[in-house]
Chains A and B, each alone.
Chain A
């Protein structure tokens, strides 16, 4: 059988895995419960295993991989995982962050201009790369918002993966290393879904990877001068595109350039420092100018998370443990918990073998050193959940970037010695742990791994047609930007689809049976125009333990009497009712201007 035929067989196997995942999703949507639901979840895991088995088998196989075979398999893996994301919500955007960018795009389509207002994610209009490309595709083809968004995110996902494969392949010098590194990377918690949604990071990652690849090609010894110039121009173009598209990705690009400069100094002396250092300086200038001129709100957007992190580190150094985020969360399945611990232990254990191999064979290679050095970031990342309450979320987001060097370092460790049957079996077991642990820690969370069930304020599973209809009503019936208090999901939908201004930190309204003077003062201070009650918050426990944006604000589920009190408050009128969702207007009571 030729390499091409083997590749086609692997692609067919991956497609079979995608079909299995689709079957499990269909069972979830059909309302499978009890043993049926367990069987559907098992089919989901089987589908995922089949998708990843194809590249893993070729990496661990006896025969050498052809260049084209490895490259096309990397792209096929990206396509298969993107299909898994698409199949979860095939008729419209279904992930909360997608709604945030849908708002920025809707404003752009209405005004035909950038840098508008997004009440739910104020920083988003300052990074309009994704919305520009989507609106351009819509303008040229006449496609709707959802298909255009799908195409842009899908193309970005494919190009990102292809660029990563090329970088790994070039640095590692072998197609097996390239495919192994991409497969490990694809098992990171957010690759399959969060980094493929209609979100600004999805597109920025593509520019990020291409910028790095261009810098690699420009600094590669032996490259002709005209090609060096071309690649530096490409590096500048993609660095600028990254800066315009996503804040954190542009900061990571800057940090990576600094790391490469340091590795260049170590590996090749001053000769290895100049190029990456100049690129880092240019990237820093781009970030500074863009933030200062077009997105000054980024600092205030990121500073709460940063101060929480520094406070957490200070407390941890002082011997205090992080506060638990939600005390009434549903219990996480033991298998998921075990898998997430196992993957952390496995990665931490394997990285040193990769370091050893890089030091032995590639210590004069700037990029191999930089990638190996970058893998060290995995250790503090794993410790983050112990340091701060939001540590799990921050660590998960960072792993998108940290898994790039981790993927390379593990791939190098894997290919350091010839694979005996015993080593091959061990590597296969490790691959299973990587995959299961990655999905267990990733998105969607365990309670909504299959679509179709309702979980109050449960991210994707908390979005219902009734909540969406209420948000659509707000968009039609209310002036834009009305300040509204609501639970997490309705806050999100009113802030995005509804084009209203969600207010956080006012959960106290829902926590007692009386409307007190404190509530009146808070409503006036926060200029609350409308207050939304979702009666389902009194019937169900939220999966992650919290109904509101702020963790642990009220015990969940809420008391029905606490939600019914608004009917009796003088001056508060009940302007909307759809059975579960009620909207009250506070303006007439003088609580807001």
Chain B
């Protein structure tokens, strides 16, 4: 295929997708099914259009802007292109390997948000490396302990519970972790 046609074709696919999306938005919404049907219709329409153009207007086709005359790939060409692919692949591998290196020592999240008029949602999420044990204590503002939990969580694991909120009282939750205490109120 002529290189300039690849460029025009890619551009038309991108633009055509935009217009198809606008149409689908009016008709069915942009769902996986609607995209699949639209894609099938587009493929059939493109094939039909290609047949018509090939039959009627072959004389309109002008030589490609990018002339491939004298641009014959050889084994040397292939070798250098393979080298380029290996170098680029190495760059991508290195970046992906490096992206996994830890940027922070990790952290834990503690939250206490009102759920209803008389309840709140108390939650913990562990983002520290490895398995961690946390001490979570829930008190009323007078100091009375309403609940206490020893939580053992792995990295990425969460714990959540609905707790009753006494009328006119403020809840205070404290999460103990090495060298730090997190506090929330509700």
Give the B-binding residues of A (Cβ under 8 A).
1-5, 7-9, 11-12, 14-16, 18-19, 21-23, 25-26, 29-30, 66-69, 71, 83, 86-87, 89-91, 108, 111-115, 128-129, 132-133, 135-136, 139-140, 152, 155-156, 158-159, 162-163, 166, 169-170, 203, 206-207, 210, 224, 226-227, 234, 237-238, 240-241, 244-245, 452, 454, 464-466, 469-470, 473, 477-478, 573-580, 585, 588
Contact = CB atoms under 8 A, between A and B. Distances in A.
A8 B21 contact: no
A295 to B, nearest CB: 13
Given A25-B95, A465-B103, A2 B30 contact: no
A67 B67 contact: yes
Contacts of A29: 98-99, 101, 103
A158 B90 CA distance: 21
B30 A135 contact: yes
Contacts of B119: none
Interface string B82-116: 01111110111011111111011001111111100
Given A66-B71, A573-B185, A90 B127 contact: no
Can you list the 10 inter-chain pairs with the closest CB atoms, starting with the nearest?
Answer: A132-B21, A139-B35, A8-B80, A112-B29, A22-B91, A15-B87, A241-B15, A68-B71, A15-B84, A26-B98
Contact of B7 (A108, A113, A163): A163
Contacts of A588: 114
19 contacts: A2-B77, A4-B73, A8-B76, A8-B78, A19-B90, A23-B94, A29-B98, A87-B95, A112-B31, A128-B21, A135-B30, A162-B7, A207-B14, A234-B12, A452-B103, A473-B111, A477-B111, A573-B170, A575-B113
Given A244-B18, A579-B108, A68 B185 contact: no
A169 B66 CA distance: 10
Contacts of A227: 60, 62
A135 B109 contact: no
Contact of A155 (B10, B74, B121): B10
B110 to A, nearest CB: 5
Most A C-beta atoms less than 10 A away, residue of B21, B67, B74, B121: B21
A31 to B, nearest CB: 8
Given A135-B30, A139-B30, A166-B4, A469 B125 contact: yes
Given A66-B70, A163-B11, A574 B94 contact: no
A576 B11 contact: no
B19 interface: yes
Given A3-B71, A136-B35, A577-B110, A170 B83 contact: no
B109 to A, nearest CB: 4
Given A11-B84, A136-B21, A169-B65, A113 B29 contact: yes
A223 B41 CA distance: 32
A209 to B, nearest CB: 9
A585 B123 CA distance: 16
A26 B94 contact: yes
Interface stretch (B132-140, B146-154, B176-184): B176-184
Interface string B1-30: 001100110111011011111100100011
B51 interface: no
Given A4-B77, A19-B91, A155-B14, 10 more contacts: A18-B87, A113-B29, A162-B3, A244-B18, A469-B109, A477-B123, A478-B113, A575-B112, A575-B113, A578-B108
A171 to B, nearest CB: 12
Contacts of B31: 112, 139
Contact of A15 (B91, B109, B170): B91
Most A C-beta atoms less than 10 A away, residue of B19, B30, B71, B97: B30
B94 A577 contact: no
Interface string B161-186: 00000000010000100001011111
Contact of A114 (B30, B57, B95, B103): B30
